[in-house]
Amino acid sequence: MVLAVITAYVQWAAIGLPSVPAPQQFTPQTTTLPYGFPAWIGITHYVNLLFMVLLARSGLQILMDHPRLYWNVHCTPGSEWVRFTPIQVPLDRLYTAKDDARYLSPWIGLPGGRHTLGLARHWHFASALFWVLNGAVYITLLFVTNHWRRIVPTSWRIFPDAWAMFVHYATFHLPPEPNGFYQYNALQQLSYFVVIFVLAPLSILTGPAMSPALVNRFSWYRKLPGNRQIGRSIHFLLLCAYVLFVIAHVSMVLLTGFARNMNHIVIGTDDLLRFGMYIGLSGLVILLLLNMMANWATWLFPRAIQRVGDALVNPVLRLLLARHAPRAEYTVEEISPFMWPNGKLPTSEEWKSLAAGGFKDYRLKVCGLVENPVELSLEELLAMGKRTQITLHHCIQGWSGIAEWGGLPVAELMKLVRPKPDVKAVVFYSFGEGLEGGQYYDSHTIDNARRPQTLLSYEMNFKRLTDVHGAPLRLRVENQLGFKMVKWIKSIEFVADFKHVYQGEGGYNSDHEFFDTMADI
Q: Do 286 and 351 sit in the same domain of this protein? A: no
- Shared-domain flag, residues 365 and 284: no
Closest residue by Cα to residue 478 from 226, 115, 219: 219
What number is the average pLDDT over the span 399-413?
97
Q: Is residue 17 part of a domain?
A: no
Whether residues 380 and 504 fall in one domain: yes
pLDDT at 127 over 80: yes
Structure letter (DSSP) for residue 484: G
Instruction: Provide the CATH number for the domain around residue 436.
Output: 3.90.420.10
Q: Are residues 136 and 270 in the same domain?
A: yes
- What's the chain's average pLDDT? 93
- The verdict on residue 5 lying in a domain is no
**Would 277 be classed as within a structural domain?**
yes
* pLDDT band, residue 35 (cuts 50/70/90): confident
Q: Indicate whether 426 and 458 sit together in one domain.
A: yes
Q: Do 307 and 355 belong to one domain?
A: no
CA atoms within 13 A on the CB side of 98: 15
For residue range 212-224, what is the model confidence (pLDDT) as tens digits? 988 888 878 877 8
Question: Stretch 100-124: mean pLDDT, rounded?
Answer: 96
Residue 276 lies in a domain: yes
What is the per-residue pLDDT for 326? 86
Last residue of a domain, one of 320, 351, 370: 320
Q: Which band of pLDDT confidence, cut at 50, 70 and 90, is reported for residue 308?
A: very high
Q: Which H or E run contains 494? A: strand 489-495
Verify that 395 and 299 share a domain, yes or no: no
Which parts of 39-116 fold into alpha helices (H)? 39-63
Residue 237 lies in a domain: yes
Q: How many domains does the chain have?
A: 2
Instruction: Decide if 326 is inside a domain.
Output: no
| Cα dihedral 303, 308, 314, 315 in deg (nearest 10) | 150
Give mean pLDDT, residues 166-180. Answer: 88
- Residue 97, Cβ neighbours under 10 Å: how many? 22
Partners of 280 in beta bridges: none
Same domain, 399 and 276: no
Query: Does 26 map to a domain?
Result: no
- For residues 360 and 174, which has the higher predicted lDDT (pLDDT)? 360
- Residue that terminates a domain, selected from 260, 293, 320: 320
Distance, CA of 138 to CA of 170 (rounded, Å) = 31
Residue 114 has, within 13 A of its CA and on its CB side, a CA count of 9
Region of 306 please: left (phi>0), alpha (psi -120 to 50) or beta: alpha
Residues in Cβ contact with 361 at an 8 Å cutoff, skipping those fewer than 6 apart: 353, 354
Say yes or no: 313 and 389 in one domain: no
Domain around 484? 332-512
- Model pLDDT, residue 309: 95
What's the CA gap between 133 and 51, in Å, rounded?
A: 11
Give me the mean pLDDT over the 25-47 stretch: 89
The reply to whether 309 and 413 lie within a common domain is: no
Among 254, 287, 320, give the residue marking a domain's end: 320
Verify that 176 and 226 share a domain, yes or no. yes
Same-domain status, 272 and 362:
no
Q: Would you state the pLDDT for residue 218?
A: 84
Quote the pTM value: 0.94
The answer to whether residue 12 is domain-embedded is no
